[in-house]
Amino acid sequence: MATRSTDRPLAGRRILICRPQPEADRLAGRLQDEGAQTYCLPLLERRPLPETPERRTRFQELDLYQHVIAVSPGAARLFLEQAEDWWPQWPVGLHWYGVGSGTADVLAQAGLVVTIPPDGFTSEHLLALETLRRPSGERVLIAKGRGGRELLGQTLAERGARVDNLELYERVCPDHDPDTVRAALKDFDPDAVIVLSGETLNNLIALGENTDQALKSRTLLVPVDRVAQTAREQGFTRVCIPEQLTPEGLIASLGRLD
């Protein structure tokens, strides 16, 4: 491996990025700026769901909500694209939230004032915010994909909020052929693999464990303890949880790897 310098802390690192697009390419650019070689193998694809009368009603009634939460950058982008058809000017008095800094950035680029937890990037951290601790009687709209974790909605409902889910996309595993998977894992031979969801981890195992005998010994960067535990149960021996899931947090974590 090439010698790294403080100016380019990832010089010589080969990093496989399994995020959906366009996040994968954006992250690749940041890692390349720090000297890394990157390969993008998206292991989740977001497919927009068809419009429904229920979804139209949710958008039409946006001004009746007190809180709007987007759970991912993809959810935030699709929400903005579709809501702007109904609201050329955003309703006043709404509290906007993003699960993670990347999601918050998408909302902020639309001119929204977004609240994010000061000390973390998960649903649990979001639920600890003062404005969401006692939402009894308030309406909450959650922009999300079909399925996924239900912690946010369930917890807020238990706290007395009126919660509506706005399902905007479904998550599927891209149809990568064996040659593509082999090129990403065996030929590229990554020093680390960025896997930022449990579903991404499952897809990596399904596509890669019969292709790459070294898969379980590769270093994984995962988002939270529950995904790390799943990875270890599946036989991965080198699992790292970055302190932050921002590009800067990922770069810092990658730079500390042996």
Confidence grade of residue 6 (pLDDT, cut at 50, 70, 90): low
Residue 4 pLDDT > 70, yes or no? Answer: no
Task: Indicate whether 118 pLDDT > 90.
Answer: no
Please, where are the H alpha helices in the chain? 23-33, 53-60, 73-83, 101-108, 123-127, 151-158, 178-182, 198-208, 225-233, 247-255
Share of the chain above pLDDT 70, in %: 98
Q: Name 195's Cβ contacts closer than 8 Å, sequence gap at least 6.
A: 18, 43, 201, 204, 220, 221, 222, 227, 231
Least trusted range by pLDDT, from 54-63, 113-122, 148-157: 113-122
Question: What is the bridge-based pairing of β-strands 45-48 and 238-240?
Answer: unpaired
CA distance 46 to 159: 30
Q: How far, in Å, CA of 140 to CA of 66, rounded?
A: 6
Mean pLDDT computed over 77-88: 94
SS3 149: coil
Q: At what angle do helices 73-83 and 53-60 cross, to 10 degrees?
A: 80
pLDDT digits (tens, 9 = 90+) for 100-111: 888 999 999 999
33-55 pLDDT, tens digit per residue, is 999 999 999 999 999 999 999 99
Q: Determine the 3-state secondary structure of 139 from DSSP.
A: strand
Q: Does the pLDDT value for residue 168 go beyond 70?
A: yes
Residue 2 has pLDDT above 50, yes or no: no
Is the pLDDT at 74 greater than 50? The verdict is: yes
Residues 127-157: pLDDT tens digits?
Answer: 999 999 999 999 999 999 998 788 999 999 9
The strand pairing partners of 38, in sequence order, are: 15
| Tokens of residue 141, six digits | 């709209």
- Given pLDDT bands bounded at 50, 70 and 90, which one contains residue 8? confident
Over residues 189-248, the pLDDT tens digits come to 999 999 999 999 999 999 999 999 999 999 999 999 999 999 999 999 999 999 888 899
Which domains are seen in the chain, by residue range? Answer: 14-44+176-255 (3.40.50.10090), 47-172 (3.40.50.10090)
